[in-house]
Amino acid sequence: MDTRLSAYLQAPKSNGNPHEQALIRRWWVEKKRSQGLLAWEYYLRGCYVDAVWFPDVDDSDEVFGTGMPLKYPINGKVIVLCEAKIRLTPELIGQALVYKSFAVREGAILREARIFADTGSDHLRTAACDLGLEVEIQDDTPE
């Protein structure tokens, strides 16, 4: 594992993948200064989104567990959807687009849908961006 990412590796939250969660956590800590609430494995219309970030929440915390939609409803809230995989694939792009649609239909004010990966081709990155997704590739981050 990249040593820049190892600092963000923790025991998995809920049933999440620790490496994928580390990709999201690194972005949240380094680029968002751990502001707001990061809700792991958020249940949304029969699926689990890797994370939903609530940037306008005063607390700075990571939360997980059952009942997330009841504890932290997205209706009327500004959110960022976060989905991660080891590689950027068409499946990851499609998954993020489905979750984006679900969130909007639940009444969220979607600031962005962001996908994270260790590696990914320029063609897939361009396709994801053309479809309105933000893309964070680990390989692109300078040491």
Rounded Cα–Cα distance for residues 121 and 17 (Å): 22
All residues at 6 or more sequence positions from 137 whose CB lies less than 8 Å from its CB, including other chains: 88, 116, 117, 118, 119, 120, 125
All residues at 6 or more sequence positions from 70 whose CB lies less than 8 Å from its CB, including other chains: none
- Contact present, 117 and 87 (Cβ < 8 Å): yes
User: pLDDT tens across 52-74, in order?
Assistant: 999 999 888 999 888 889 999 99
User: pLDDT tens across 5-21, in order?
Assistant: 665 555 555 666 888 99
Check pLDDT > 50 for residue 142: no
pLDDT of residue 25: 94
Query: Confidence band (pLDDT; 50, 70, 90) for 1?
Result: very low
Q: Which two tokens stand for residue 75?
A: 């209706």
Determine the average pLDDT of the residues in 85-110.
98
Q: Provide φ and ψ at 43, rounded to 5°.
A: -80, 125
pLDDT of residue 65: 80
Rounded Cα–Cα distance for residues 59 and 38 (Å): 10
All residues at 6 or more sequence positions from 92 whose CB lies less than 8 Å from its CB, including other chains: 83, 85, 115, 117
Rounded Cα–Cα distance for residues 130 and 141 (Å): 21
Residue, of 138 and 104, whose pLDDT is higher: 104
